[in-house]
Amino acid sequence: MPAGTLYRGREGMWSWVAHRVTGVLIFFFLFVHVLDTALVRVSPEAYDDVVATYKTPIVNVLEYGLVAAILFHALNGLRVIAVDFWSKGPKYQKQMLWTVVGVWVVLMAGAFYPVLQHTLRTLFGS
Amino acid sequence: MNDVSLYDVDNPAPVIEPPRKRTKKTPKSTRTNFELYGWLFMRLSGVVLVVLVLGHLLIQLVLDGGVSKIGFAFVAGRWASPFWQGWDLCMLWLAMLHGANGLRTVINDYAQRDTTRFWLKMLLYTATVFTVLLGTLVIFTFDPNIA
Ligand code: HEM
Ligand code: HEM
């Protein structure tokens, strides 16, 4: 371990890094998202135009990425809360992280078709 | 064990001031429990946001054809119900405050110069107030017959 650093590496540090990166990304998305939703106060056409970009293949894939970020942040956030408030939390933090990763993989697999169906249908026909 | 005390009622021990005691001369304390409440808020809002945000994503991206169905008419249908208006309003306020408080921590961690840190946080607070007010206004003034 290098001297003069608080960073300890391993699961604890990397889950913290990922929690921070996803949190910041979600915040920036939310800022843009409230702006695009505000177009409902301009006109139905203006709103439908911006929503059309949400339906392009590239942005659709980005939405899957957003789901990935939020699912990780949410599940790991619950883990952080458990570490802080559950007396056995710190002892099981590593097991809980692998549980988070496992649940995340399952939910991401389940979300693949529903989230990307728009692109899959337009690219490969119904 | 009969230890003889140097002091008694007539000859009391000298008073030693506790080193960190606040006296009239110490500057007025500016410490509050703000950071504790911030910490607690991150956890309480987090639990609620799990339901609000994951529910929102389920409705918008998974159920009923995914993103294909979204459009002005869809929003009009949803905001006809006070329940979903309230849902979106809570989600807006909680997510923005949770995210802004999180970003405040991140800025405090990485921006080392006082002025940089100050202005980044001013930018953050301005963007946050603007977004929360705009989103609230949009929910309350939504007009399905705008065209
Ligand atoms: C979905 C449910 C969510 C849960 C359970 C959750 C949980 C948490 C928790 C417990 C923390 C504190 C971490 C710590 O003190 O070390 C945190 C930090 C943070 N959250 Fe969330 N959160 C959620 C949603 C969101 C959303 C929607 C955003 C963005 C708008 C967001 C942005 C952030 C940011 C930027 C941080 C600071 C990260 C850091 O300091 O490293 N979170 N979250
Ligand atoms: C790509 C994924 C998403 C889509 C397609 C989407 C879609 C929508 C739509 C159609 C609305 C209009 C109102 C309604 O139907 O409830 C809306 C509003 C809203 N969404 Fe999302 N959403 C997404 C992700 C998110 C995320 C991740 C968050 C939170 C972090 C969020 C927070 C909000 C808020 C706060 C509102 C209310 C906006 C306002 O007050 O003007 N959305 N969203």
Give the CATH number for residue B56.
Answer: 1.20.1300.10
Per-residue pLDDT of chain B (147 residues; tens, 9 = 90+): 566 778 888 888 888 877 777 777 777 766 789 999 999 999 999 999 999 999 999 999 999 889 999 999 999 999 999 999 999 999 999 999 999 999 999 999 999 999 999 999 999 999 999 999 999 999 999 999 887
pLDDT of residue B32: 86
C-alpha span between A119 and B3 (Å, rounded)? 89
In a domain, B26, yes or no: no
Q: Find the domain containing B80 and state its range.
A: 33-141
Tell me the CA distances in angstroms from B106 to A24, A106, B103, B136, one per residue in order. 9, 30, 5, 26
Chain A environment of B131 (Cβ under 8 Å): 30-31, 34-35
* Helices and strands: H and E segment counts in chain A: 4, 0
DSSP state of B60: I
The answer to whether B91 and B49 have CB atoms below 8 angstroms apart is: yes
Please give the tally of structural domains in chain A. 1
Q: Which mutation among B52, B56, B139 tests ligand 2's pocket best, with the greatest number of atoms within 8 A of CB? A: B56
Q: Which of B36, B40, B72 should one mutate to test binding to chain A, selecting the residue with the greatest count of A CBs within 10 A?
A: B72
In a domain, B90, yes or no: yes
Asked if A24 lies within 8 A of B65 by C-beta distance, the reply is: no
Nearest CA in chain A to B44: A81
For the stretch A49-97, pLDDT in tens is 999 999 999 999 999 999 999 999 999 999 999 999 999 999 999 999 9
Asked if B67 lies within 8 A of A41 by C-beta distance, the reply is: no
The answer to whether B98 and A27 have CB atoms below 8 angstroms apart is: no
C-alpha span between A27 and B30 (Å, rounded)? 30
For the stretch A103-123, pLDDT in tens is 999 999 999 999 999 999 888
The answer to whether A118 and B67 have CB atoms below 8 angstroms apart is: yes
In a domain, B13, yes or no: no
Please give the tally of structural domains in chain B. 1
pLDDT of residue B121: 98
In a domain, B39, yes or no: yes
Asked if A30 lies within 8 A of B96 by C-beta distance, the reply is: yes
pLDDT of residue B15: 84
Say which CATH number the domain at A46 has: 1.20.1300.10
